[in-house]
């Protein structure tokens, strides 16, 4: 019985990877909302999304954070 369930799950994973990940993410999000509340969960998801965005931007452009720091320091110097 255990092997049949394992084989069935593996087959579903191979055929519908996106649906499996989406279902899992939805279930985790729903549990987080029930345990912690909507706004706290929203804040964590928002921070994770910003981190993902910055990480992907950094992967595509290795000089991204260097330019970001240079721009920030230039703006600080202009305020003086």
**pLDDT per position as a tens digit, 11-65:** 888 888 888 888 899 999 999 999 999 999 999 999 999 999 988 888 888 788 8
pTM to 2 decimals?
A: 0.64
Buried b (16+ CB within 10 A) or exposed e, 36-65: eeeeebeeeeeeeeeeeeeeeeeeeeeeee
State the pLDDT at residue 20. Answer: 85
Using the predicted structure, report yes or no on whether residue 74 has a pLDDT greater than 90.
no
pLDDT of residue 55: 85
């Amino acid at each position: 019985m255990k092997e049949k369930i394992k084989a069935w799950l593996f087959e579903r994973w191979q055929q519908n990877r996106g649906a499996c990940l989406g279902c899992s993410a939805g279930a985790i999000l729903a549990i987080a909302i029930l345990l912690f509340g909507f706004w706290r969960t929203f804040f964590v998801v928002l921070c994770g999304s910003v981190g993902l965005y910055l990480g992907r931007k950094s992967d595509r452009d290795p000089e991204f954070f260097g330019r970001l720091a240079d721009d920030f320091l230039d703006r600080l110097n202009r305020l003086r």
